Amino acid sequence: MDFINAIILLLNYIFIPALTYGSQLALGAIFVTLIYGILRFANFATGDMMSFGTMATILFTWYFQSLGVSLGVLPTALLAIPFGIIFMILYMLLIDKFVFKYYRYQKSPPVQFAMVSIGVMFVTQAVVRIVIGPADRRFFDGEKFIIKAREFKEITGLNEGLALKSTQVITIFVTIVLVSLLFWFLNRTKTGKSMKAYSDNEDLALLSGIDPKKIVLVTWVIAGILATIGGALYGLDKSFKPFTYFNNMLPIFAAAIVGGIGNPFGAFLGGYVIAFSEILLTYAYKKFFMYVLPESMEPSSLVQLLSTDYKFAVSFSILVIVLIYRPSGIFKGKVL
Amino acid sequence: MRKNLNVIAAYSIMMVLILMVGIFQSWNIALSIFNLCLISAVMTMGANIQWGYAGLINFGIMGYTALGGLAAVLISVDPVQEAWRAGGFDILMSLWLIVVMVLVIRFVLKRFEKSKIRTYSIAAIIISGILLIRFSAEPGIEAIEAVDPAKTGFLGGFGLPIIFSWIVGALFAGGLAFIVGKVALGLRADYLAIATLLISEIVIAIIKHEDWLTRGVKNVIGLKRPAPYEVDLQTTDWFIKLVEKFNSGKLSIIENLADRQAALNQLVIEGSSVFVKLCYSGLFLVVVIILLILTQKALYSPWGRMMRAIRDNEEAANAMGKNVVKQHLLIFILGSAIVGIAGAMLVTQDGLFTPGSYRPMRYTFLIWVMVIVGGSGNNFGAILGGFVVWFLWIEAAPISLFLINFFTAGIPETNALKAHLIESVPYFRFLMMGLGLLFIMRYRPKGILPEKIEIK
């Protein structure tokens, strides 16, 4: 019995939160990696673009709520996400047309692109804050829990409860569907394959008649979908605050690089690597050991490797170590 | 004279702008903008040495600034004797352990051939070392943080004049830059950018959460000053006389003696804070001028030529027998040290150390905007960038408020859109910075004052 309790404890406090957080990071990381692989620059506006997409989703959610439209037990935001995506894609294409296109034709070095993306970051941040303000916003509605901790205890008769939030299930489900679709698209369709070819070798791709304009367009469309859904899921699960989104850029970068930048599958796994290591290293295992070990060996301290204050620092340290020892990432493999 | 005309013109315009703030808003605001412009100028000089001279990208400016601030605290605060007694020994022990760990790792690296076993054993040494240090420091940290936590709860510093911290801050920042440079400088430009950004976040996380060091997010306030205190000035005879002399015209208009005395008191209060700010301006100006002379000398020296050669063609410079790795490391340390000085100056001016306020937008990306806008590779350009961007950053709100009111003059005050826009005036500064950066990068990619190399 104690053993099952211990397992439930880990599931409740480590596995499910990490899986959710990892999925949110993974979507962002694939976004970063796609831009890096095809447009060839590190996009420092990642976090703010995600917050822009989330902002659009929130505005539509409010609009639907004012109309009285809802999805019942599911959050209304799910209905608003497609509209948010359209706005996000339009915004990205606008930015691309007026900003990035020029440097692409100039064949500027990646550093210059990165600088330009900082300009875009400032502008996007301003737009988001002017439109919706810097405050913390929750836009979740519908049923909050699928299983409540107390109900779970009553049903199973265990000491430990397992709480399952609906946002967690939605996040994991949507991520699986979206990522499978994305990989199907990249590996099976002609456009996806031409994107791969373009990322592998630009000149050769041009020679074989691949239209770069189309590739760039499709990349931004996919990026818009990923950014909006990733951002909206994070906002649903936690809350929406422009500043947090800007900060989230850093673990997202970490996930993309740990997975091998330019490699979407690596980025996908990288998101989970970062999320799990953050949570595993900062969780206090005292209760777990109380269940597993006999009473005489119970630990007196919290058995916490690092204090939770260092959550972000964990992922950054992992990234720095990976950058130094294996700059091409853990999951090397083929680019894109 | 003629070829420097644009430099002189640009600086004159900048000075006129600051003077206008002084005349139309207040001298206090003008001087505080001017002081922060000077500090920004020091930061941009540091970033400019790295980016403009050597083409190294450093997005970790925030971390070095914070280390400079840390130095200011550690140098100027009086030591907390009780905390030292409570946990000083444990902390010193842990420091020793860190030194021992580093030495052991160095020994392993030197003694054994590169192999998998070596890598794993180093990892094992680091992990066990960290655990050991954690357990040995834990009781000491707890004891220190328990010493009067509302006021102290930290070890304190050395109780020296805060000016020394400007040098120590440079040493701290240079030390960190040495470590970062050793491990990260081999990376490609955009990886280096990300790595330095993340390392600076780690530094901030440590400063924020190690309460025994600088009280973490509880902040350290009331640091010593190199300048006199306003309260003291207001009761000093010579200062009151000085204010009286300056404003004799204004004061003589007032007939009533009591009124005149009240007006004088008001002027003395205002004057004292202006005077204190002027003291800071003087100190900062000295630092800026010294650094400017040194950096200009370096730029036109054989060393500067070599750095440009390395920047423009690393391989060719390498082939000519220049040690690219070593020079990169050197310039990374130098630039970061200058940023460290600026960090210490900043805390000196504020008189408080607030780790929570170190955010990458303000201390990393804004500094980069300054360098790019001003003109990378040109020290005068970098300083000008610091002035222009900081001025806009502060004055963006009034300017955008004016613009909003101007364009929506026909719309009544109660209009929801207008009210919303006026409410979000503070965020227009981001818009201005972003658009400014994008326009400069597009239409004047070398900055306002581009790099100009004269061969003498």
Q: What is the mean pLDDT of residues A112-136?
A: 93
Quick one: pLDDT at residue A334?
Answer: 45
pLDDT at A30 over 80: yes
pLDDT score of B323: 92
Verify whether the Cβ–Cβ distance A119 to B441 is below 8 Å. Answer: yes
pLDDT, tens digit, 9 for 90 and up, residues B143-198: 888 887 777 778 888 888 999 999 999 999 999 999 999 888 888 888 888 889 98
Q: What letter does residue B160 receive in the DSSP assignment? A: -
Full domain range(s) for residue A128: 22-256
What number of H helices and E strands is found in chain A? Answer: 15, 2
What confidence tens digit (pLDDT) does each residue in B284-295 have?
999 999 999 999
pLDDT in the model for residue B456: 53
CB B434 within 8 A of CB A119: yes
Which percentage of chain B shows pLDDT scores above 70? 98
Does B15 touch chain A if contact means CB atoms closer than 8 Å? Answer: no
Of the candidate ranges B128-142, B348-362, B387-401, the one whose mean pLDDT is the lowest: B128-142
Closest of B291, B302, B388, B424 to residue B16, by C-alpha: B388
CA–CA distance, B251 with B355 (Å, rounded to integer):
45
Residue A15 CA to its chain's centroid (Å): 17
* Lowest-pLDDT range of A268-277, A298-307, B57-66, B157-166: A298-307
- Would residue A56 count as lying in a domain? yes
Percent residues over pLDDT 90 in chain B: 41
* Distance separating alpha carbons of residues B256 and A213, to the nearest angstrom: 79
The mean of the pLDDT values for chain A is: 88
Give tens-digit pLDDT for A253-265.
989 988 888 888 8
Per-residue pLDDT, averaged over B32-57, amounts to 93
Q: Which of A47-61, A85-99, A297-311, B53-67 has the lowest mean pLDDT?
A: A297-311
Average pLDDT for A225-231: 95
pLDDT digits (tens, 9 = 90+) for B78-119: 888 888 888 888 888 888 998 999 899 888 888 888 788 888
User: What's the DSSP call for residue A212?
Assistant: H
> What confidence category does residue A91 fall into, taking pLDDT thresholds of 50, 70 and 90?
very high
Q: Which residues of B touch A313 (CB under 8 A)?
A: 201-202, 205-206
Q: Residue B70's Cα: distance from chain center in Å?
A: 12
SS (H, E, C) B92-158: HHHHHHHHHHHHHHHHHHHHCCCCHHHHHHHHHHHHHHHHHHHHHHHHHHHHHHHCCCCCCCCCCCC
Arithmetic mean of pLDDT, B292-319 = 91
pLDDT value of residue B116: 82
CA distance B389 to A119: 13
B393 touches chain A (CB under 8 A): no
pLDDT tens, B198-245?
A: 899 999 999 998 888 888 888 888 888 888 888 888 888 888 888 888
For residue B428, give the chain A residue with the closest CA. A126
Instruction: Please tell me if residue A280 touches chain B, with a CB cutoff of 8 Å.
Output: no
Has residue A332 got a pLDDT over 70?
A: no
Residue A211 lies in a domain: yes
Q: Which DSSP helix (H) or strand (E) runs through B68?
A: helix B61-76
pLDDT over 50 (residue A335): no
| pLDDT for residue B67 is more than 70 | yes
Minimal Cβ distance to A253: which of B57, B194, B445: B194
Mean pLDDT, residues B381-389 taken together? 93
Rounded to an integer, what distance in angstroms lies between the CA atom of residue A245 and that of residue B396? 24
Strand partners, A145: A165
B227 part of contact set with chain A, CB < 8 Å: no
Nearest-angstrom CA–CA distance, A302 and A26: 30
Q: Measure B267 CA to nearest chain A CA, in Å.
A: 39
pLDDT surpasses 90 at B247:
no
- What six digits make up the tokens of A79? 């209905």
Interface check A52 vs B, CB under 8 A = no
**Phi, psi for B445 (deg, rounded to 5):** -60, -15
User: How far does A110 lie from chain B, in Å, by closest CA?
Assistant: 7
Reply yes or no on whether the pLDDT at B40 is more than 90.
yes
Q: Does A120 touch chain B (CB under 8 A)?
A: yes
Q: d(Cα A159, Cα A57) in Å, to the nearest integer? A: 40
Residue A312: inside a domain, yes or no?
A: no
Query: Of the ranges A191-195, A305-309, B447-451, which one carries the lowest mean pLDDT score?
Result: A305-309
Name which of A118, A285, A300, A309 to mutate to probe chain B: the one with the most chain B Cβ atoms within 10 A of its Cβ: A118
Reply yes or no on whether the pLDDT at B330 is more than 50.
Answer: yes
Average the pLDDT over B11-35 and give the result. Answer: 91
**Chain length of chain B:** 456
- Cα–Cα distance measured from residue B349 to residue B39, given in angstroms and rounded to the nearest whole number: 10
Q: What is the pLDDT of residue B440?
A: 92
**Residue A329: inside a domain, yes or no?**
no
ipTM of the shown complex: 0.89
Structure tokens at A58: 């929130």
Confidence of residue A336 (pLDDT cuts 50, 70, 90): very low
Residue A127 lies in a domain: yes
Q: Is B162 on the interface with A (CB under 8 A)?
A: no
Min CA distance, A315 vs chain B (Å)? 9
Name chain A contacts of B424, Cβ cutoff 8 Å: 129-130, 133
pLDDT band at B455 (very low <50, low <70, confident <90, very high): low
Q: Which pLDDT belongs to residue B241? A: 84
Q: Kindly identify which residue of chain B lies nearest to residue A327, measuring between CA atoms.
A: B187
| B165 SS3 class | helix
**Residue-wise burial string across B256-276, b where 16 or more C-beta atoms lie within 10 A, e elsewhere:** eeeebeebbeebbebbbbbbb
pLDDT in tens, A150-195: 888 888 878 888 888 899 999 999 999 999 999 999 999 999 999 9
CB contact under 8 A, B193 and A316: no
pLDDT band at B248 (very low <50, low <70, confident <90, very high): confident
The residue written with tokens 């070596």 in the block is B118
**In this model, does residue B1 exceed pLDDT 70?**
no
Q: Residue B132: is its pLDDT beyond 60?
A: yes
* Burial state string for A210-241 with b = 16 or more CB within 10 A and e = fewer than 16: beeeebbebbbebbbbbbbbbbbbbbbbbebb
* Nearest residue to A54 (alpha-carbon basis) of A248, A268, A254: A248
Q: Chain B closest CA to A314's CA: distance in Å?
A: 9
Residues A29 and A46: their CA atoms lie apart, in Å, by 9
Task: Give the three-state DSSP class for A43.
Answer: coil
Q: Do A115 and B430 touch (CB under 8 A)?
A: no
State CA B142 to chain mean position distance: 31
For residue A178, give the amino acid letter. L
Helices B257-300 + B237-246 axis angle, to 10 = 90
The answer to the question of residue A333 being in a domain is no
A145 φ/ψ angles, rounded to the nearest 5 degrees: -115, 145
- Say if CB B390 and CB B346 are below 8 A apart: no
Cβ pair B205:A313 closer than 8 A: yes
Residues on chain B touching A316 (C-beta within 8 angstroms): 198-199, 201-202
**Nearest CA to CA, how far is A138 from chain B (Å)?**
20
User: Which residues neighbour B239 within 8 Å (Cβ) at sequence distance 6 or greater?
Assistant: B233, B268, B271, B272, B275
Helices (H), A12-76: 16-34, 46-67
Please tell me the distance from the alpha carbon of residue B341 to that of residue B360, in angstroms, as a whole number. 18
- Between the CA of residue A177 and those of A8, A54, A71, A186, B267, what are the distances in Å? 26, 19, 20, 14, 70
Q: Taking residues A291-300, what's their average pLDDT?
A: 75
Total beta-carbon pairs less than 8 A apart between chain A and chain B: 118
Q: State the total domains in chain A.
A: 1
